[in-house]
Amino acid sequence: MNLIGKKEFSSMLITLMSVKLLLSYPLNLIKNSGNAAWIQMIFVTLICLLIFKVTTMLYEKKINIIELAGIHGNRAVRIIVGLLIFIALFLNMVSVMRIFPESVKIVLLPDVETDIIIGVCTLTVFIGAMLGIESAVRINYIFLPICGILLAAFLLLLLPYYKIENILPLLGNGGTNIFLKGISGLSVFSDIIVLNILLAYSKNIREARDSGYRAIIISGTVGVLTTLVYGLIYPYPVSENFVLPIYQITRMINLSSFFNRFEALFQFIWSILVFLYGTIYVYM
């Protein structure tokens, strides 16, 4: 088993947590908090950092939660914990993989049957999983900075469409929705469980913790920026009418008569990230 470096581990976790923020997840935040979804993202990011700090204090060695259950319990406890982890991983993967074929059909392949898209996606993911976690993580490490550059360019190109009045009232649907019901937004960070499962691949527990902190902060920042930009462009309640919020605003970018399908480029980025996401989950 080859060890995974801290930077590669961080980039993997950033991808896993950020993918849903580029698909339909911002819609859930908007429906709950209105155009104050960016404040909800700041709130849940801080809560997640606190939870992560508390939970990582329990770990002194590179032992994942299933092995830990086996040490402190019996075989039955280990099996139960393993099943619960499997269910959590399965639900995470389904939440992303379910919406992806629909987005491909909407953006790129409107005349292709959804079943064909699902079949190709499934085959690609399983082939990737067979190549091993190390290959997926290293490809992701190379590809993620490209995604970051494109995302930054994307946010800058949208500057002419920002309207500050669109995020008023500042607390959107109210403080109760943001700070009480908004706790549900922690699900965006649910992929942090991957860090626990793959602890054995890290060099040491300290590097694993650092990777987790870095991934939560960067993914939270991506969430804040995407929800804020979306809110600056579309006033509430118009902003809750689009199934794929990020796709909707990519359609507004028109660089020239030769390149007026920026959303197609963004779909390419989504596709690679989703394939990496699915590969890592199927491997686990």
Peptide bond into 237 cis (omega under 30): yes
Query: What percent of the chain stands above pLDDT 90?
Result: 6
- pLDDT of residue 203 exceeding 80, the answer is no
Between 206 and 257, whose confidence is greater? 206
Can you give the pLDDT at residue 201? 79
- Residue 29, judged by CB atoms within 10 A of its CB (0-12, 13-18, 19+), counts as buried
Q: What is the DSSP letter of 240?
A: G
Report pLDDT for 44.
92
pLDDT at residue 173, rounded to an integer:
83
Mean pLDDT of 113-118: 81
In three-state secondary structure terms, 259 is strand
Per-residue pLDDT of 56-81, as tens digits, reads: 777 666 677 777 776 766 778 888 88
Give the total residue count for the chain: 284
| Alpha helices, DSSP H, located in 20-174 | 25-33, 37-56, 65-72, 75-97, 99-107, 114-130, 133-157
Whole-number Å distance between alpha carbons of 253 and 129: 35
Instruction: From residue 201, give the alpha-carbon distance in Å to each of 68, 84, 198, 225, 262.
Output: 16, 22, 6, 31, 37
How would residue 17 be classed by pLDDT, with cut points 50, 70 and 90?
confident
Task: Fill in the amino acid letter for 82.
Answer: G
Rounded (to 5) percent helix, strand, coil in the chain: 80, 0, 20
Task: Name the pLDDT band for 216 (thresholds 50, 70, 90).
Answer: very high
- Predicted confidence at residue 34, as pLDDT, reads 84
Question: Rounded CA gap, 61 and 268, in Å?
Answer: 39
What pLDDT, on a 0 to 100 scale, did the predictor assign at position 258?
46
Report residue 4: phi and psi, to 5°.
-105, 130
d(CA 37, CA 213): 22
As a whole number, the mean pLDDT across the chain is 82
Residue 110 C-alpha from the chain's centroid? 25
Nearest to 184 by CA among 32, 23, 36, 51: 32
Query: Is residue 224 a contact partner of residue 27, using CB atoms and an 8 Å limit?
Result: no
Round to whole Å and give the CA distance between 204 and 62: 7
Query: DSSP secondary structure string, 39-82?
Result: HHHHHHHHHHHHHHHHHHTT-SSS--HHHHHHHHS-HHHHHHHH
Give the pTM.
0.86
The amino acid at residue 140 is: N
Which of 69-73, 239-243, 260-264 is the most confident on average? 239-243
The pLDDT of residue 1 is above 60: no
Q: Judge whether residue 47 has pLDDT over 90.
A: yes
Alpha-carbon dihedral angle through residues 205, 210, 211, 214, given to the nearest 10 degrees: 160
Q: Find how far residue 32's CA is from the centre of its chain.
A: 18
Per-residue pLDDT, 217: 92
Q: Mean of the pLDDT values across residues 93-107? A: 77
Q: What confidence tier does 186 reach under pLDDT thresholds 50, 70, 90?
A: confident
- Which of 60-64, 161-165, 184-188 comes out lowest in average pLDDT? 60-64
Name the residue with higher pLDDT: 258 or 233.
233
pLDDT of residue 272: 85
Share of the chain above pLDDT 70, in %: 92
Mean pLDDT value of segment 263-276: 79
